[in-house]
Amino acid sequence: MISYDVGGHKTDGDPYDAVRERVDAEEYVMVGDSHESDVVAAREAGFVPVQYEDAETDLFAILTAML
């Protein structure tokens, strides 16, 4: 989901609320490349933040290993 799909910005919390309404889960993860607008905002919303900056890294493999 893209934050603008719900008419909000990640830093104001609307996208996180929309995810909770659409997906029933015990834990939520936010993957992003910006510390302030992705990691900090996700943590404040109760999500587990994962900062991703290296395009050479296989993000899918890392996330799969975390499961």
Q: Which residue type is seen at 18?
A: A
Helix, coil or strand: residue 48 = strand
Rounded-to-integer distance, Cα 35 and Cα 5, Å: 21
Q: How many domains does the chain have?
A: 1
The residue with tokens 């936010």 is 30
Question: Is pLDDT larger for residue 67 or for residue 31?
Answer: 31
Rounded-to-integer distance, Cα 29 and Cα 13, Å: 14
Q: Percent of the chain at pLDDT above 90?
A: 28
User: Residue 44 sits in which domain range?
Assistant: 3-66
Indicate the pTM of the whole model. Answer: 0.70
